[in-house]
Amino acid sequence: MSCRILVVEDEIFVAIEIEHVVSQMGHRPIGIAADSRKAEELAGEAEVALVDLNLRDGPTGPAIGRMLAEKHGVTVVFVTANPSQLGEGVPGTLGVIPKPVNDDEMRQAVSFAIAHRQRQEAMPPASMTLFSADTSRLAS
């Protein structure tokens, strides 16, 4: 089943590569948001979002992730070179995968996020750290 995926990333070449991987998987990238304004604009169309922390308008990724999850019901995975900036995680979001991310890890992270959204059992990529608030539903 095809899923609508938002890429929140200000490095255009990274964002394009993520969109390419998502498209190859048969999913529909709905756009690239380089800042919180664009993320808010596209939020209503997204089912899953891949969110960097440090964007064009500063370190707004955690707030964007929280807004997407809580206000729009989007399944959020953070993709960042600075996972420690998230501490114990962001309420409502799924987890974080560290950059650099190879295409196979990205495919696994996207597949895991979609399976989680559809309440199906799946294994996250080995490099992904899950946030505790969401892990209880996975242990079954």
Which amino acid is located at 48 in the chain?
V
pLDDT at 135 over 90: no
pLDDT at 138 over 50: no
d(CA 113, CA 76): 8
Q: What is the DSSP string of 84-123?
A: GGGTT--TT--EEEESS--HHHHHHHHHHHHHHHTT---P
- Rounded to an integer, the average pLDDT of 114-138 is 81
Percentage of residues of the chain with pLDDT beyond 70: 94
pLDDT at 49 over 90: yes
What residue ranges define each of the domains in the chain, with the CATH number in brackets? 4-135 (3.40.50.2300)
pLDDT tens per residue, range 85-105 = 999 999 999 999 999 999 999
Percentage of residues of the chain with pLDDT beyond 90: 91
| CA nearest neighbour of 121 among 132, 135, 107 | 135
